[in-house]
Structure 1
Amino acid sequence: MQLLTQELSFPDPHTADAHGLLAIGGDLSVERLLLAYNNGIFPWYDDNDPICWWSPDPRMVFDLRKDQPMKVSKSLRQSGRNRNYRITMNQSFIRVMTCCMNVSRNGDLGTWINDDLIAAYTQLHELGHAASVEVWLDKELVGGLYGVDLKEQGVFCGESMFAKATDASKLALWHLVKTLKQKDYQLIDAQLYNDHLHSLGAVTMDREVFLSFL
Structure 2
Amino acid sequence: MTQIFHPRFGLFAKLTLIALLVLVSAAVLAWRGLTNEPHRIGEAVEQPVPFSHKHHVGDDGIDCRYCHDTVETSSFAGMPPISTCMTCHSQLYTDQAVLKPVVDSWQRGVALHWQRVHQLPDFVYFNHSIHVAKGVGCESCHGRVDRMPLTMRTQPLSMQWCLDCHRAPQKYLRPRAQEFAMGWKAKDQDTLGLALLKRYHIDTRRLTDCSVCHR
Question: What's the TM-score bracket when you normalise by the shorter of the two chains?
Answer: under 0.3
TM-score (norm 1): 0.25
Which structure: greater strand fraction? 1
TM-score (norm 2): 0.25
Larger radius of gyration: 2
Which structure: greater helix fraction? 2
